[in-house]
A and B are shown apart, each in its own frame.
Chain A
Protein backbone atom coordinates (compact mmCIF):
# COMPACT_ATOMS: atom_id res chain seq x y z
CA UNK A 1 0.00 0.00 0.00
CA UNK A 2 1.22 3.47 -0.81
CA UNK A 3 1.02 6.28 1.66
CA UNK A 4 -0.42 9.52 0.39
CA UNK A 5 1.00 12.72 1.92
CA UNK A 6 -2.25 13.27 3.81
CA UNK A 7 -2.05 9.91 5.55
CA UNK A 8 1.63 10.38 6.32
CA UNK A 9 0.87 13.74 7.95
CA UNK A 10 -1.92 12.12 9.95
CA UNK A 11 0.39 9.38 11.21
CA UNK A 12 3.03 11.92 12.20
CA UNK A 13 0.52 14.00 14.17
CA UNK A 14 -0.91 10.86 15.77
CA UNK A 15 2.57 9.73 16.78
CA UNK A 16 3.26 13.11 18.37
CA UNK A 17 -0.07 12.92 20.22
CA UNK A 18 0.72 9.47 21.57
CA UNK A 19 4.26 10.41 22.64
CA UNK A 20 3.05 13.57 24.36
CA UNK A 21 0.24 11.69 26.12
CA UNK A 22 2.67 9.07 27.42
CA UNK A 23 4.85 11.90 28.71
CA UNK A 24 1.80 13.45 30.41
CA UNK A 25 1.12 10.39 32.54
CA UNK A 26 4.75 9.64 33.35
CA UNK A 27 6.18 13.03 34.34
CA UNK A 28 6.97 13.81 37.96
CA UNK A 29 6.75 17.57 37.63
CA UNK A 30 3.24 18.92 37.21
CA UNK A 31 4.14 21.85 34.98
CA UNK A 32 6.14 19.64 32.60
CA UNK A 33 3.16 17.29 32.32
CA UNK A 34 0.96 20.29 31.58
CA UNK A 35 3.31 21.40 28.77
CA UNK A 36 3.12 17.94 27.24
CA UNK A 37 -0.66 17.97 27.61
CA UNK A 38 -0.81 21.18 25.55
CA UNK A 39 1.35 19.58 22.85
CA UNK A 40 -0.86 16.48 22.85
CA UNK A 41 -4.03 18.53 22.45
CA UNK A 42 -2.55 20.57 19.59
CA UNK A 43 -1.40 17.39 17.84
CA UNK A 44 -4.91 15.99 18.15
CA UNK A 45 -6.20 19.25 16.69
CA UNK A 46 -3.92 18.73 13.67
CA UNK A 47 -5.39 15.23 13.37
CA UNK A 48 -8.89 16.75 13.38
CA UNK A 49 -7.91 19.18 10.65
CA UNK A 50 -6.55 16.35 8.52
CA UNK A 51 -9.72 14.34 9.12
CA UNK A 52 -11.76 17.11 7.53
CA UNK A 53 -13.09 18.80 10.68
CA UNK A 54 -11.44 22.24 10.80
CA UNK A 55 -14.17 23.60 13.08
CA UNK A 56 -13.48 20.91 15.65
CA UNK A 57 -9.75 21.56 15.33
CA UNK A 58 -10.30 25.24 16.08
CA UNK A 59 -12.50 24.40 19.04
CA UNK A 60 -9.88 21.98 20.32
CA UNK A 61 -7.21 24.65 20.29
CA UNK A 62 -9.43 27.43 21.67
CA UNK A 63 -11.34 25.56 24.36
CA UNK A 64 -9.04 22.71 25.37
CA UNK A 65 -5.59 24.17 24.93
CA UNK A 66 -6.70 27.73 25.54
CA UNK A 67 -9.28 27.62 28.31
CA UNK A 68 -9.13 24.30 30.14
CA UNK A 69 -5.35 24.25 30.32
CA UNK A 70 -5.31 27.82 31.60
CA UNK A 71 -7.65 26.58 34.33
CA UNK A 72 -5.08 23.91 35.17
CA UNK A 73 -2.32 26.52 35.28
CA UNK A 74 -4.36 28.71 37.65
CA UNK A 75 -5.04 25.73 39.90
CA UNK A 76 -1.37 24.77 39.98
CA UNK A 77 -0.46 28.33 40.88
CA UNK A 78 -3.05 28.20 43.67
CA UNK A 79 -1.72 24.94 45.03
CA UNK A 80 1.76 26.30 45.55
CA UNK A 81 3.35 23.02 44.60
CA UNK A 82 6.85 24.24 45.22
CA UNK A 83 7.11 22.67 48.62
CA UNK A 84 5.74 19.20 48.01
CA UNK A 85 5.62 18.33 44.35
CA UNK A 86 8.78 19.70 42.76
CA UNK A 87 10.69 18.58 45.81
CA UNK A 88 10.75 15.04 44.40
CA UNK A 89 11.44 16.16 40.86
CA UNK A 90 15.02 16.20 39.56
CA UNK A 91 16.83 19.48 39.69
CA UNK A 92 16.53 21.88 36.80
CA UNK A 93 19.11 20.86 34.23
CA UNK A 94 18.90 23.76 31.81
CA UNK A 95 17.20 22.54 28.64
CA UNK A 96 15.75 19.40 30.12
CA UNK A 97 12.41 20.83 31.18
CA UNK A 98 11.17 22.32 27.95
CA UNK A 99 13.29 20.90 25.11
CA UNK A 100 10.94 17.94 24.61
CA UNK A 101 7.71 19.92 24.17
CA UNK A 102 9.57 22.45 22.01
CA UNK A 103 10.83 19.69 19.68
CA UNK A 104 7.36 18.16 19.34
CA UNK A 105 5.81 21.59 18.73
CA UNK A 106 8.39 22.44 16.05
CA UNK A 107 7.62 19.16 14.28
CA UNK A 108 3.92 20.05 14.42
CA UNK A 109 4.62 23.52 13.04
CA UNK A 110 6.65 22.12 10.13
CA UNK A 111 3.85 19.67 9.45
CA UNK A 112 1.24 22.43 9.48
CA UNK A 113 3.19 24.63 7.08
CA UNK A 114 3.80 21.66 4.77
CA UNK A 115 0.10 20.77 4.85
CA UNK A 116 -1.00 24.29 4.02
CA UNK A 117 1.48 24.62 1.16
CA UNK A 118 0.82 21.19 -0.35
CA UNK A 119 -1.72 21.40 -3.19
CA UNK A 120 -2.65 17.72 -3.24
CA UNK A 121 -3.46 17.63 0.46
CA UNK A 122 -5.55 20.78 0.21
CA UNK A 123 -7.58 19.36 -2.69
CA UNK A 124 -8.13 16.12 -0.79
CA UNK A 125 -9.21 18.07 2.28
CA UNK A 126 -11.60 20.24 0.30
CA UNK A 127 -13.32 17.12 -0.99
CA UNK A 128 -13.92 15.67 2.45
CA UNK A 129 -14.41 18.66 4.72
CA UNK A 130 -17.45 18.99 6.99
CA UNK A 131 -17.64 22.72 7.50
CA UNK A 132 -18.91 24.78 10.40
CA UNK A 133 -22.12 25.75 8.60
CA UNK A 134 -23.46 22.21 8.60
CA UNK A 135 -22.49 21.82 12.24
CA UNK A 136 -24.31 25.03 13.16
CA UNK A 137 -27.45 24.08 11.23
CA UNK A 138 -27.60 20.74 13.03
CA UNK A 139 -26.69 22.31 16.36
CA UNK A 140 -29.58 24.77 16.35
CA UNK A 141 -32.03 22.39 14.72
CA UNK A 142 -32.28 18.79 15.87
CA UNK A 143 -29.75 19.19 18.68
CA UNK A 144 -31.27 22.26 20.31
CA UNK A 145 -32.28 20.34 23.42
CA UNK A 146 -28.72 19.01 23.78
CA UNK A 147 -27.39 22.56 23.56
CA UNK A 148 -29.77 23.66 26.33
CA UNK A 149 -28.73 20.74 28.51
CA UNK A 150 -25.08 21.61 27.88
CA UNK A 151 -25.76 25.17 28.99
CA UNK A 152 -27.36 23.86 32.17
CA UNK A 153 -24.32 21.66 32.69
CA UNK A 154 -21.99 24.64 32.38
CA UNK A 155 -24.11 26.69 34.79
CA UNK A 156 -24.05 23.80 37.26
CA UNK A 157 -20.30 23.58 36.89
CA UNK A 158 -19.96 27.29 37.57
CA UNK A 159 -22.12 27.20 40.69
CA UNK A 160 -20.52 24.02 42.00
CA UNK A 161 -16.99 25.26 41.38
CA UNK A 162 -17.77 28.49 43.23
CA UNK A 163 -19.36 26.58 46.07
CA UNK A 164 -16.45 24.17 46.48
CA UNK A 165 -13.62 26.59 46.00
CA UNK A 166 -14.72 29.41 48.29
CA UNK A 167 -13.09 29.41 51.67
CA UNK A 168 -15.66 28.82 54.38
CA UNK A 169 -14.88 28.87 58.06
CA UNK A 170 -18.28 27.61 59.11
CA UNK A 171 -20.07 24.38 58.52
CA UNK A 172 -17.72 21.44 58.43
CA UNK A 173 -14.13 20.92 59.43
CA UNK A 174 -11.98 23.47 57.70
Chain B
Protein backbone atom coordinates (compact mmCIF):
# COMPACT_ATOMS: atom_id res chain seq x y z
CA UNK B 1 0.00 0.00 0.00
CA UNK B 2 1.18 3.46 -0.73
CA UNK B 3 0.67 6.47 1.44
CA UNK B 4 0.75 9.15 -1.23
CA UNK B 5 -2.46 9.17 -3.28
CA UNK B 6 -2.00 8.58 -6.99
CA UNK B 7 -4.24 11.53 -7.86
CA UNK B 8 -1.89 13.97 -6.19
CA UNK B 9 1.14 12.50 -7.92
CA UNK B 10 -0.64 12.83 -11.24
CA UNK B 11 -1.64 16.40 -10.42
CA UNK B 12 2.01 17.21 -9.70
CA UNK B 13 3.06 15.56 -12.95
CA UNK B 14 0.41 17.50 -14.87
CA UNK B 15 1.45 20.81 -13.35
CA UNK B 16 5.12 20.22 -14.15
CA UNK B 17 4.27 19.07 -17.67
CA UNK B 18 2.10 22.14 -18.22
CA UNK B 19 4.84 24.47 -16.98
CA UNK B 20 7.30 22.87 -19.37
CA UNK B 21 4.76 23.05 -22.19
CA UNK B 22 4.20 26.76 -21.60
CA UNK B 23 7.96 27.21 -21.66
CA UNK B 24 8.28 25.38 -24.97
CA UNK B 25 5.48 27.42 -26.51
CA UNK B 26 6.27 30.85 -25.13
CA UNK B 27 10.05 31.17 -25.07
CA UNK B 28 12.03 32.40 -28.04
CA UNK B 29 15.44 31.27 -26.92
CA UNK B 30 16.21 27.74 -28.11
CA UNK B 31 18.19 26.94 -24.97
CA UNK B 32 15.15 27.70 -22.83
CA UNK B 33 13.02 25.53 -25.10
CA UNK B 34 15.45 22.68 -24.47
CA UNK B 35 15.31 23.26 -20.71
CA UNK B 36 11.52 23.29 -20.80
CA UNK B 37 11.63 20.00 -22.69
CA UNK B 38 13.68 18.64 -19.80
CA UNK B 39 10.99 19.76 -17.38
CA UNK B 40 8.35 18.00 -19.49
CA UNK B 41 10.32 14.74 -19.65
CA UNK B 42 10.85 14.98 -15.91
CA UNK B 43 7.09 15.33 -15.39
CA UNK B 44 6.46 12.15 -17.36
CA UNK B 45 9.03 10.45 -15.14
CA UNK B 46 7.07 11.59 -12.08
CA UNK B 47 3.92 10.04 -13.52
CA UNK B 48 5.67 6.72 -14.21
CA UNK B 49 7.30 6.54 -10.79
CA UNK B 50 3.99 7.38 -9.12
CA UNK B 51 2.19 4.62 -10.99
CA UNK B 52 4.94 2.12 -10.21
CA UNK B 53 4.80 3.14 -6.56
CA UNK B 54 1.03 2.65 -6.34
CA UNK B 55 1.02 -0.84 -7.84
CA UNK B 56 4.33 -1.81 -6.19
CA UNK B 57 5.87 -2.81 -9.49
CA UNK B 58 9.38 -2.01 -10.70
CA UNK B 59 8.20 -1.34 -14.26
CA UNK B 60 7.64 2.32 -13.54
CA UNK B 61 11.28 2.78 -12.56
CA UNK B 62 12.40 0.98 -15.71
CA UNK B 63 10.29 3.30 -17.82
CA UNK B 64 11.86 6.19 -15.94
CA UNK B 65 15.31 4.90 -16.79
CA UNK B 66 14.36 4.69 -20.46
CA UNK B 67 13.09 8.28 -20.27
CA UNK B 68 16.41 9.22 -18.69
CA UNK B 69 18.28 7.65 -21.60
CA UNK B 70 16.04 9.45 -24.06
CA UNK B 71 16.61 12.76 -22.29
CA UNK B 72 20.37 12.29 -22.34
CA UNK B 73 20.44 11.54 -26.08
CA UNK B 74 18.02 14.35 -26.83
CA UNK B 75 20.03 16.90 -24.88
CA UNK B 76 23.28 15.83 -26.53
CA UNK B 77 21.88 16.18 -30.04
CA UNK B 78 19.90 19.32 -29.18
CA UNK B 79 22.90 21.10 -27.72
CA UNK B 80 25.04 20.08 -30.70
CA UNK B 81 22.43 21.55 -33.02
CA UNK B 82 22.37 24.69 -30.89
CA UNK B 83 26.14 25.00 -31.23
CA UNK B 84 25.74 24.81 -35.01
CA UNK B 85 23.01 27.44 -34.81
CA UNK B 86 25.21 29.72 -32.76
CA UNK B 87 28.01 29.28 -35.30
CA UNK B 88 25.83 30.06 -38.27
CA UNK B 89 23.43 32.75 -37.03
CA UNK B 90 25.29 34.18 -34.00
CA UNK B 91 22.09 33.93 -31.94
CA UNK B 92 19.79 31.37 -30.43
CA UNK B 93 16.46 32.91 -31.39
CA UNK B 94 14.06 30.29 -32.73
CA UNK B 95 12.67 32.76 -35.29
CA UNK B 96 15.82 32.70 -37.39
CA UNK B 97 15.02 29.10 -38.21
CA UNK B 98 11.84 30.16 -40.01
CA UNK B 99 13.76 30.10 -43.28
CA UNK B 100 13.57 26.35 -43.02
CA UNK B 101 10.17 26.81 -44.63
CA UNK B 102 12.12 27.05 -47.86
CA UNK B 103 9.95 29.35 -49.97
CA UNK B 104 11.70 32.54 -48.99
CA UNK B 105 14.77 32.12 -51.12
Q: Known contacts A18-B19, A48-B49, A52-B53; is A37 also within 8 Å of B39 by CB?
A: yes
**Interface secondary structure of A, over-half rule:** helix
Q: How many A-B residue pairs have CB under 8 A?
A: 186
Q: B42: which of A4, A41, A51, A53 is its contact (CB, 8 Å)?
A: A41
In the complex, the answer to whether A53 meets B20 with C-beta atoms within 8 Å is no
Complex Cα distance, B38 from A67, in Å, reads 13
Q: Which of the residues B38, B52, B58, B91 comes within 8 Å of A68, measured between beta carbons?
A: B38
A167 touches B87 (CB 8 A): yes
The reply to whether B73 and A154 form a contact with Cβ atoms under 8 Å apart is yes
CB-based contact B53/A18 at 8 Å:
no
Q: Judging by beta carbons under 8 Å apart, are A150 and B66 in contact?
A: yes
* Chain A hits for B32, CB < 8 A: 25, 30, 33
Q: Count residues of A near B (Cβ-Cβ below 8 Å).
A: 68
Given contact pairs A24-B35, A128-B53, A154-B72, A18 touches B81 in the complex (Cβ within 8 A): no
A41-B16 Cα distance, complex, nearest whole Å? 11
Q: Which one, A78-86, A96-104, A110-118, is touching chain B? A: A78-86
Q: Do A130 and B52 touch across chains, with their CB atoms under 8 A apart?
A: yes
Interchain CB contact under 8 A, A146 and B66:
yes
A109 at the interface (CB under 8 A from B): no
Nearest CB in chain A: distance from B61 CB, A: 5
Q: Provided the pairs A18-B19, A139-B65 are in contact, do residues A75 and B82 lie with their beta carbons within 8 angstroms?
A: yes
Q: Which residue of A lies closest to B53 (CB)?
A: A51
On whether A18 and B15 interact (CB within 8 A), knowing A53-B52, A130-B53, A154-B72, the answer reads: yes
> B20: which of A21, A56, A68 is its contact (CB, 8 Å)?
A21
Tell me the bound Cα distance from A63 to B92 in angstroms: 26
Given A53-B52, A68-B72: A139 touches B35 (CB 8 Å cut-off): no
Closest CB of chain A to B69's CB: distance in Å? 4
Is A51 touching B81 in the complex (CB atoms < 8 A)?
no
Residues of B within 8 A of A107 (CB): none
- Judge whether A138 and B66 touch: CB under 8 Å: no
Are A161 and B16 closer than 8 Å at their CB atoms?
Answer: no
User: How far is the CB of A22 from the nearest CB of chain B, in Å?
Assistant: 6
- Establish whether residues B59 and A67, one from each chain, have CB atoms under 8 Å apart when the complex forms: no
State the B residues within 8 Å of A (CB): 1-4, 8-9, 12, 15-16, 19-20, 22-23, 26-27, 29, 31-32, 34-36, 38-39, 42, 45-46, 49-50, 52-53, 56-62, 64-66, 68-77, 79-84, 86-88, 90-92
